[in-house]
Amino acid sequence: MNKYYIKFGISQKSNAGSKAMKDIMLLLEVQGYKPVLSLPTTANKIIKLIDIPILLLTLIFKIRKNGSIIYFIPSNILRIKFLKAFRKVIGFKLICFINDIESMRMEKSEKYTHAEMNSISVADIVLVPNDNSVQILRNKYHFTNHLIPVGVWDYLNNFEYIASEHTANMAFHNKFVAFAGNLNKAPFISELSLVNLNFKIWGSGTEKKQDRNIELMGKKTPDELIENISGCTWGLVWDGTSIDTCCGHLGTYLRFNNSHKCGLYLAARVPVIVWEESGMASFVNKYKVGICVSSLHEAADIINSMTPNEYIIYQKNVQSIGPLISKGNFFLEAIKKAEKLVI
């Protein structure tokens, strides 16, 4: 089977924002997918027209009948309409990988939402973030195509973690909670001084005020970040404006998506704290790699009353899952399921 994916230009800077999709494209190539070159979304509209003939030639002469092509969301909606039209003529299969759904993540018009959902639904198979995503797309948007949950964002790395009872005990007694991300997009951080836990925070926007229980660690590269975070006790996956629940667009979006930082923490062998209504809660509960809470006050109560033996169980589970995330196993398993359906 001829297998291709539509490559797009992303930042060459070494940061977590670009790492997520760089990892996905690398894993696709490991699985035998070849890239179809396409221009970045920032390119001039006239120059972007070059995309179409490149794509057409690839469809006709390389992918052909019974081949498959993967595209990402968000992406150029015109290009996806083009794929839909030529699929009927040539007979290849379409697979969509959801990176982000912008109409869920931010304020968008009804017209934009409709166009974005249509651009996903044209695929024969959709790789969605998690089990929650499947239910939302089926129940709210009436999707009828094959939906395959990936479960978690993989986080490719060569980090070597040396497990020992001593390191687990040290982590337990330190009780540092890690948070990594763009701090300007995480307004709940201003309330962390009210939570009975100690936090180490990495990311841009570190002009935030340092409080008694908050240590600002600055920006790090993805490789530096994973090593730094590995010394923490917990990794926090939270978003929105409040410590009492995940709210606002970014907060409620956690019901649908997998936060890339969840994969980061688990790859660093650090158990996670996630919102109980988030899409990641099913994964965390299934593999017992962290706690699912309604608020950060609840997280503090659970953590502060936890025994060392209880914590070591989470640590051991993370030590089993972390290497799989570091190698991209969860995405690779999902793409293999999609290929079986294509065949």
CATH of the domain at 121: 3.40.50.2000
Residue 76 pLDDT class (50, 70, 90 cuts): confident
Residues 175 and 296 in one domain: yes
Residue 98 structure tokens: 């959801």
Q: What is the signed CA dihedral for 331, 219, 192, 298, rounded to 10 degrees?
A: 20
Residues 269 and 289 in one domain: yes
Kindly report the CA angle at 147 between 276 and 127, in degrees rounded to 5?
80
Instruction: Return the pLDDT at 48.
Output: 61
| Of 254, 207, 215, nearest in space to 231 by CA | 215
Average pLDDT over residues 229-248: 95
Is residue 156 in some structural domain?
Answer: no
Residue 175 pLDDT class (50, 70, 90 cuts): confident
Instruction: Return the pLDDT at 223.
Output: 87
Is residue 322 in some structural domain?
Answer: yes
Is residue 44 in some structural domain?
Answer: yes
Q: Which position has the token pair 């409040």? A: 242
Determine how β-strand 272-275 pairs with β-strand 176-180.
unpaired
Please report, in angstroms and rounded to a whole number, the separation of the first and last CA atoms in the chain: 8
Residues 224 and 273 in one domain: yes
Average pLDDT over residues 126-134: 97
Residues 250 and 337 in one domain: no
Residue 122 structure tokens: 């044209």
Residues 104 and 120 in one domain: yes
Query: Is residue 15 scored above 90 in pLDDT?
Result: no
Is residue 174 in some structural domain?
Answer: yes
Residues 172 and 141 in one domain: no
Range with the poorest average pLDDT among 36-40, 85-89, 308-312: 36-40
Average pLDDT over residues 214-242: 93
Mean pLDDT highest for which of 32-36, 54-58, 145-149, 219-223? 145-149
Instruction: Return the pLDDT at 294.
Output: 98
Name residue 216's amino acid: L
What is the average pLDDT score of the chain? 89
Instruction: Return the pLDDT at 26.
Output: 96
Kindly report the CA angle at 210 between 168 and 275, in degrees rounded to 5?
55
Higher pLDDT, 62 or 271: 271
Instruction: Return the pLDDT at 47.
Output: 62
Residues 82 and 192 in one domain: no
Name residue 10's amino acid: I
Average pLDDT over residues 251-269: 96
| Of 149, 157, 126, 174, nearest in space to 303 by CA | 174
Residues 136 and 189 in one domain: no
Query: Is residue 314 scored above 90 in pLDDT?
Result: yes
| Of 2, 1, 5, nearest in space to 331 by CA | 5
Is residue 217 in some structural domain?
Answer: yes
Percent of the chain with pLDDT over 70: 90
Residues 26 and 146 in one domain: yes
Helix (H, G, I), strand (E, B) or coil at 117: helix
Q: Do 184 and 205 contact (CB within 8 A), yes or no? A: yes
The pTM assigned to this predicted structure is: 0.92
Kindly report the CA angle at 139 between 137 and 143, in degrees rounded to 5?
45
Q: Which domain holds residue 283?
A: 165-327
Is residue 158 in some structural domain?
Answer: no
Is residue 159 in some structural domain?
Answer: no
Mean pLDDT highest for which of 90-94, 125-129, 210-214? 125-129
Residues 202 and 247 in one domain: yes
Residues 171 and 315 in one domain: yes
Q: Which position has the token pair 């974005």? A: 116
Instruction: Return the pLDDT at 49.
Output: 64
How many independent structural domains does the chain possess? 2
Is residue 60 in some structural domain?
Answer: yes
Residues 313 and 335 in one domain: no
